[in-house]
């Protein structure tokens, strides 16, 4: 029997506001454990949260950039669960009235060719939880509340993703949008972008989706890809052996490339959601939405079209250039200095990217400037230095 894979993603992104969502503590990554904490984010009785307006603005920008409708009347809800990383024993989130609804992100259709829309069911605002750290020496689990109350957006897709490659591209496209909008740095290695991956399989031609499982907090593209492939395969084997897939939460072990059952899936009712009585309704007015719409810079999809048209670049190159805002800006600035767009692209996507990957750093971490790159390309064009000498020059000027 042939099977189709069905996948829906819940992507969490930490917003790059200076302060937390309901208090004035810093959102900076790292720091002494429990140094970015106050009585509000530590959940002391009698304290009152106040919404950081920036968080609402960032959520609206993200919604507009992903073709969502913006909810005018917003409420926060309490999601109750008991785990030491959450000092209040509830997380402030949005269940009933999420701030953005019914959007989409366009990706390549890996099954039928062309492009397709991955629908976004909703985007809601919530607070992050703290971190539990196991201390080997004392054999205790310690808790660090610095991350408690860092603002998060949860971006929930419909189950429109049909394979691991589509899932990876979807997250790449989302990351580019979030970075272009300036709402998150999306550093996956620091956990500021992570995905819960829901997977099911169904026989080709079946009318209904199969039962899904969920793997939480996956924080690299490679892990997202491998987790989906391995879980779809596992489910097919269960079904082929005459068994049934059970709805559950599983843990993806990226080191060993296997997953294991963690717990049976919890439903919304398990969390006993109710409207948070401490927070007022937030009204997002039309004028403010329009103002925010105007503040969104040119998005990756539009930039890509412009690169094809104005610079005559191939689709493949343009697609790589708009992957991140730094690279796109760098390209445009260098080309504006008179360097041939295709030469700039070849250097940026070739040798420069190679060095960045080797050193695991970003363009902004280097000493390379559009001026220096344009100057070097000019020297090569004038045949004052060879292409190979150019590579040596690059090594000299990049750090
Ligand atoms: P819940 O509230 O139980 O988490 P949701 O309806 O919010 O359920 O869905 C959570 C995620 O699971 C969404 O991203 C959705 O696209 C995905 N999903 C739902 N049904 C399936 C399915 N049959 N196979 C794969 N993913 C699914
Ligand atoms: Mg969910
Ligand atoms: Zn605080």
Q: How far is the centre of ligand 2, averaged over its atoms, from the C-alpha of 10 (Å)?
A: 7
Query: Across the beta sheet with 77-80, what order do the strands follow?
Result: 90-93, 77-80, 274-275
> Residue 364's pLDDT is what?
87
Nearest ligand to residue 145 Cα: 3
Substitution candidate for ligand 1 out of 164, 170, 198, 200 with most atoms within 8 A of CB? 198
Question: What tokens does 345 get?
Answer: 């692209």
Check pocket membership of 56 for ligand 1, CB cut-off 6 A. no
Q: How far is the centre of ligand 1, averaged over its atoms, from the C-alpha of 10 (Å)?
A: 8
Beta-carbon-side half-sphere exposure of residue 250 (alpha carbons within 13 Å) = 26
Substitution candidate for ligand 1 out of 98, 104, 156 with most atoms within 8 A of CB? 156
Q: State the burial class of residue 19 (Cβ atoms within 10 Å of its Cβ: 0-12, 13-18, 19+).
A: middle
At which residue do the structure tokens 């999420």 appear? 98
**For the segment 112-159, what is each residue's pLDDT rounded down to a tens digit?**
999 999 999 999 999 999 999 998 999 999 999 999 999 999 999 999
Closest CA to ligand 1's atom 19: 159
- Tell me the CA distances in angstroms from 83 to 80, 92, 130, 132, 355, one per residue in order: 10, 14, 10, 10, 43
Write out the residues surrounding ion ligand 3, Cβ under 5 A: 23, 25, 38, 40-41
Q: Compute the C-alpha angle 367/372/378, nearest 5°.
A: 155
pTM exceeding 0.75:
yes
Check pocket membership of 228 for ligand 1, CB cut-off 6 A. no
**For the segment 16-69, what is each residue's pLDDT rounded down to a tens digit?**
999 999 999 999 998 999 999 999 999 999 999 999 999 999 999 999 999 999
> Residue 258's pLDDT is what?
87
In this model, does residue 1 exceed pLDDT 80?
yes
> Residue 95's pLDDT is what?
95
How far from chain centre, in Å, is Cα 375?
A: 36
Q: How far is the centre of ligand 1, averaged over its atoms, from the C-alpha of 102 (Å)?
A: 15
Which range scores top for mean pLDDT: 83-87, 117-121, 254-258, 301-305?
A: 117-121
Output phi, psi for 299, to 5 deg.
-85, 160
At which residue do the structure tokens 């304290």 appear? 47
DSSP 141: E
> Residue 290's pLDDT is what?
96
At which residue do the structure tokens 């959601």 appear? 273
Q: Compute the C-alpha angle 172/175/177, nearest 5°.
A: 110
């Amino acid at each position: 029997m042939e099977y189709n894979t069905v996948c829906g993603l819940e992507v969490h992104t930490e917003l790059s506001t200076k302060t937390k969502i309901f208090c004035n503590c810093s959102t900076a990554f790292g720091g002494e454990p429990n140094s970015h904490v106050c009585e509000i984010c530590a959940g002391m009785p009698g304290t009152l949260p106040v919404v950081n307006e920036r968080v609402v603005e960032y959520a609206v920008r993200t919604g507009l950039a992903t073709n969502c409708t913006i909810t005018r009347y917003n409420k926060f809800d309490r999601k109750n669960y008991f785990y030491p990383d959450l000092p209040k024993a509830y997380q402030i989130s949005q269940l009933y009235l999420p701030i953005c609804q019914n959007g989409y992100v366009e990706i390549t259709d890996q099954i039928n060719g062309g492009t397709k829309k991955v629908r976004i069911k909703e985007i809601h605002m919530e607070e992050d939880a703290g971190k539990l750290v196991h201390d080997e020496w004392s054999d205790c689990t310690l808790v660090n509340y610095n991350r408690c109350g860092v603002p998060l957006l949860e971006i929930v897709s419909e189950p429109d993703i049909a394979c691991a490659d589509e899932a990876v591209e979807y997250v790449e496209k989302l990351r580019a949008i979030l970075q272009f909008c300036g709402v998150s740095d999306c550093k996956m290695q620091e956990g500021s972008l992570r995905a819960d991956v829901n997977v099911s399989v169904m026989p080709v031609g079946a009318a209904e989706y199969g039962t899904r499982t969920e793997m939480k907090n996956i924080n690299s593209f490679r892990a997202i890809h491998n987790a989906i492939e391995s879980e779809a395969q596992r489910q097919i084997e269960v079904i082929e052996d005459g068994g049934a897939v059970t709805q559950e939460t599983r843990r993806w072990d990226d080191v060993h490339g296997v997953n294991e059952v963690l717990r049976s899936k919890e439903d919304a009712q398990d969390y006993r959601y109710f409207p948070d009585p401490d927070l007022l309704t937030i009204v997002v007015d039309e004028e403010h939405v329009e103002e925010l719409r105007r503040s969104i810079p040119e998005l990756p999809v539009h930039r890509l079209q412009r690169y094809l048209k104005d610079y005559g670049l191939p689709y493949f190159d343009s697609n790589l250039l708009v992957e991140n805002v730094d690279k796109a800006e760098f390209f445009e600035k260098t080309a504006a200095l008179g360097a041939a767009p295709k030469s700039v692209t070849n250097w940026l996507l070739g040798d420069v990217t190679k060095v960045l990957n080797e050193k695991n750093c970003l363009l902004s971490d280097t000493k390379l400037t559009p001026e220096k790159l344009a100057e070097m390309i000019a020297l090569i064009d004038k045949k004052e230095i060879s292409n190979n000498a150019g590579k040596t020059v690059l090594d000299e000027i990049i750090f």
